[in-house]
Structure formats: structure tokens, C-alpha cells
Amino acid sequence: MRTGGTNLWLRMAKGIAPIGVVIGLTLTVTAAQNTKPTPEVPTFARDIAPILYQHCSTCHRPGESGPFSLLSYADARKHAQKIAAVTSSRAMPPWLPEPGYGEFARDPRLSDEEIHLISEWVKGGAQEGSLADEPPAPKFVEGWQLGPPDLILEAQQPATVRASGPDVFWNFIFTPAVKTTRYVSAIEIRPGAPGVVHHANVYVDRARSARRQESRPGAGFPGMDLKLVRSAFDLDTHFLFWKPGNMPWVEPEGFAWRLEPGDDLVLNAHLMTMGVRETVKPSIGLYFTDKPPTRFPLLVQLEHDGALDIPAGERDFVATDRLQLPMDADVLAVYPHAHYLGHIIEGYATLPSGERKWLIRIPQWNPKWQAVYHYNAPVFLPKGSVISMRWHFDNSEANPRNPNHPPKRVRSGNQSTDEMAHLSFQILPRGVGDRRRELEEAVMRRQEEKYPHDYLARVWLGSLMLSRLNPGGAVSVLEEAVQFDPKQPEGHNQLATAYMAVGRTREAIAELGKALELQPDYVTARYNLAKAHAKAGQLDKAREDYLKVLAAFPESVQAHNDFGELLMQMGEPALALEQFDMALAIDPSNELARRERDLALRKTADH
């Protein structure tokens, strides 16, 4: 035994060992190498609370749109299984764009690691963990998120939402009490009924055209999408979009938008049924800046609603549109819009080189979570690039959001059971000065290609040509528009403006008369008629017109100035002086009114 033992140790010392010993040592070493620490089971305090507080609690807290709060362990434990399910499927946090098809600001998506942690937390029994590990619950600003607004607007009358049934889309009209031009850097909505307002868009209505759709003043009116009368000098420039739980978008310096005396703001709100009858009376907060805009973007809408005639049962109906850019430009934001049959939206640019640059792709559209998406950095597109839209619609039983069972044929319209195919971009033309009208003219020429007999496209194109100092070309375009639809007052008004610009004053007066026959309270046409009568030497008629304009818009500095100039022409400087004084009372910085007042004062002294 001793000999054997001695030999064994000797052989081991020399690096030689029996096979069984070598194997035993090898197994022991290998087992030690493969031993890893058991992963810790995630806890709420250490792992889950930071995720929920950062990504979820802005909406999931009292008074906001989330159906339950996520500000404590008790809240999260109660809904743990649901949280794991909706985060694993990426249904929550709601974010529609597909990764890799545009880089957007305020992307709330969870990382794969965060989703895995939530899943493991639930599998491990949704443990609370040590209170020492838990971060403090987030604190939110109550009320206005940006602090007290410079101007608060309140709806005149509430809207009523039934306890059940389809969602409601309601339009509230507000008239800001501003006496001079103001520049708006941010806008925020307070819904008045927390959780009921899912999202809202605000539109600037300088012609007060939305009021015609109200049954009585201040009542508002239903409808998912709006058609507003616009001027070629007042183009749509900003997405004024709001969702509860999100911080209001503050415009960068140079990008504020203009608010004039007499402008209306229309709040287009998506109101949800909540199981009980609700009344909604929202308010709008406006934040002003003293810095006027120096950058001039344009909202460009690709659309092909005219092609929407979707057969019942059709699983993949496609609508497309495109626009070639007439200049170098930067794309700042994008807003897709369709209703419940929308399925896939693709937006991209084809560069002059043939390269495709993706702007957005949403593989599973859901109108409930529609939003404006601002790019992390402007997307540059060179002149000649073609931006394209491709909407896919599913009108089959397989579409869980199809409002019709069985499916029905669906066409375009502004009700939620109709359809729309829109992809809107905020585009900033590059170059010197304000080039919006040049870009808008390209948009309208594309409209003419799609809809050769479209009255509104013709009126708008003619207005743009007028604004770009091409009245001769505008006359023929606007004459065609009036022929397409002679019962629309806007066409007659715009044609009259073109006639005035080329010296055809008598014909202008006739067209303005037609506009006012069709719409007696059309103040813009009345104002233009006052100028036309003055130009034709019919001063008494011009005076009557100006009095009617000022009765409707007593805060219009321009109307007071123009009326004052007419009174000077009529040899009544004392009355003219009163008009210039009123203009200066509204806007003390108005240099034209000040110069005209000094002239009227001297004329009055001479008398």
C-alpha cells in the first residue's frame, strides 16, 4: 500500500496520473468553470419602477387618459399580467412608426431589455423588493404644463358624450381677444373632462368659415375632418396637435405662428365614451413670444380621397399620391391620417439619384393612436425629389376595427365611418425669403392633375397666382373655377380681386355683388367691394361698405385706416381723424395710422 501510494504521488508530481484521477480532476475543474451566479429576480423597486415612471405614468395617473394609475407598487402589482402582455406585444407605450423608417423625437418605445425585465418580473411573482431601491415617484405639474398661459380661451358651450356607442368628433370654436398681431410659440389644451379627450388638433380660421357649420353661435359642430376657407396669404404652417400626457410642443426660435385680431381657432377633438354620460368644455392656453417668425414652413398634404371606393371584403385596397419638390427643402414633421380601414402607411422620398429615403412606415395603423411625429433632425431633400404616399386599406372581416359587420362599400368622407388617405408633412423650403407660395403652387398643380374639374383647387391656384403677382394668369384660372361652381362666393371674390389687379374694376364690382348675394355676411367680399367702389369713384357706396365692414370687425386697424383715407378723399378730415385715432387706440405702434393722422390733423387745422 505504501509502495502503491508512493508511486501514485510520485507519478502525479511528474505530471502523470491514472486515467480515473485525471478524469475526476477534469470534471471538477469544468464544473467550477461553468458555475454562474443565479440571476436575480427583477423587483418592482429596483427594476420596474424606473421603467413605469419614465414611460407610462405620464398617462397612467389620476386625471389623465390612462385607465388606471401606475404610480405605486400596489398599482403595478394589480395590473402586472396586463402590463407584461401589452409591453411584450408593443401595444404600450403606444407608438405606431416602425423602427428604421425615420428617426423621431419623443420616441417612448421600451428597449428589448426593458420588456424582458417586465416579463421576468411577472414570471418571478411580481415582487416588490426593497423600498430602499425604489426611486421617488415622479412629480407632475398640475394644470398648465408650461406654466400660466399668456391667454386662456374657454369653450362657450360644452359637448355631450353618451355613456356608450361610437366615439365623438366635435369642433369647438374660439375667438382670441387680441387687438394686435401676436406670435404663438406653444399651445396647450385642458380638456375639462379628464380622460374623455383622446387627442385634438387646432386650426387657425382667418375667414371665420367654420362658424357657418354651427346650428347656433358657440354650439360647435360634429365631424372628424374640417374644410376651411383659406387665403393664399395665410397658408397652413404648423401642426397644432395635442395629446394628454405629452408635454406641449414648443416651437423653436424663428418658428412662431401668427395670430391676428378676428381670427378663430377651431379645436377638432376626438372624444371617447367612458361608460357614463360626460360633458366636455375644453379650454386652450396660448403662449406668446415677442419674436416674429423668420422661418416659414408649409404643411403639404399628400392625399387621394377621390380614389377611395373600397369594395366590401377587399383586404388590400391601395391609394397613392406623390409630389415633386420644386426646390431644396427640409422635412420637419409628418402626420399620417386615415380612419378605421387604414392598415399600412408608407411615406418615402425618391431622390434625383434614384435612391429611396424613408420618411415613415406604419405596419399596423390604429387611428386611436394617431400623432404628429417630429424628426430628431430635419430630413434634407434636394430639388426634384419626389415624396410619395402609399396607403393600404383593409375592408374585410379580418380587420378588427372595421365599423361594418358585414363589411360595406366605403368611400371618402369626413365621418368616422367614411375613409381618408392623407399623409401630411411640415416642409421648410431652403433659399432666401419666404418660398411657401412657390411650394404651394406645386401642390395645387398636382391637385389639378388628380382632379381636373376641382373647383377648390382652381380657386386656390388662382389665389396663389395672385399672391405671386401673376394676376393675368389668375384671371383665366379663376374664371374656370367660377364656371365649375358658380354658387360658391369665394370664387367670385377671388375673381373680383384678379379683375381689380388688371384694372377691370367694373367687372370686379359685378363679381363682388354676386358673392354678397350668395353670402350677405361675407365681410372679406364687402371689404373688397368698398375698395372697388372707391377705385371706381363711387365714394358714397364705398363709405356704406366700410361702415358695414367696421360693424363686423371694429378692431380692424386696416379697415379704420382705409376708411380714414376714403374720408380724406371725400374732403372730411375731421371724420378721417377719428378713424386714425381709433386705429392707433387699437395698435399704438401702427406707423401708417400715425402718418395719416398727422395729415388729417393738418387738414383739419386748415379748415
pLDDT tens digits, residue range 434-481? 999 999 999 988 998 999 888 888 888 888 888 888 899 999 999 999
pTM for the predicted model, two decimal places: 0.79
Whether residues 185 and 78 share a domain: the answer is no
For residues 156 and 253, state if they share a domain: yes
Q: Return the beta strands (E) in 311-383 as ranges.
A: 317-324, 329-337, 342-350, 356-362, 373-381
**66: which 3 cell numbers?**
390612462
Whole-angstrom Cα distance, residue 60 to residue 53? 9
Give the mean pLDDT of 37-53.
Answer: 87
CB within 8 A of 526, min separation 6: which ones?
516, 545, 548, 549, 552
CATH of the domain at 237: 2.60.120.310
- Domain of residue 347, residue span: 301-433
Q: Return mean pLDDT, the chain.
A: 89
Residue 162 CB neighbour total at 10 angstroms = 13
Are 291 and 156 members of one domain?
Answer: yes
pLDDT digits (tens, 9 = 90+) for 364-396: 999 888 899 999 999 999 999 999 999 999 999
Report the 10 Å Cβ neighbour count for 413.
16
Judge whether 510 lies within some domain. Answer: no
Query: What is the C-alpha R_g of the chain?
Result: 33
Do 308 and 427 fall within a single domain? yes
Give the chain's domain count.
Answer: 4
- My answer on whether 363 and 410 are in the same domain is yes
- Give Cα 485 to chain centroid, integer Å: 30
Residues 282 and 392 in one domain: no
pLDDT interval class at 39 (50, 70, 90): low
User: How far is it, in rounded angstroms, from Cα 302 to Cα 78?
Assistant: 45
Count Cα atoms within 13 angstroms, Cβ side, for 273: 8
- Domain identity same for 157 and 273: yes
Is residue 111 domain-shared with residue 209, that is, in the same domain?
no
User: For 376, left (φ over 0), alpha (ψ -120 to 50), or beta?
Assistant: alpha
Q: Are residues 78 and 16 in the same domain?
A: no
Beta strands in 351-416, from DSSP E residues, in sequence order: 356-362, 373-381, 386-393, 410-411
| pLDDT for residue 29 is more than 60 | no
The strand pair at 283-289 and 182-190 is best described as: antiparallel
Asked if 129 and 155 sit in the same domain, the reply is no
* Residue 232: per-residue pLDDT: 59
Same domain, 229 and 276: yes
- Range of lowest pLDDT (26-40, 303-317, 383-397, 447-461): 26-40
- Do both 346 and 388 map to the same domain? yes
Distance CA 15, CA 139 (A): 68
Return the ∠ at Cα 210 (arms to 519 and 171), rounded to 5°. 155
221-222 vs 151-154, strand pairing mode: unpaired
Specify if 267 maps to a domain.
yes
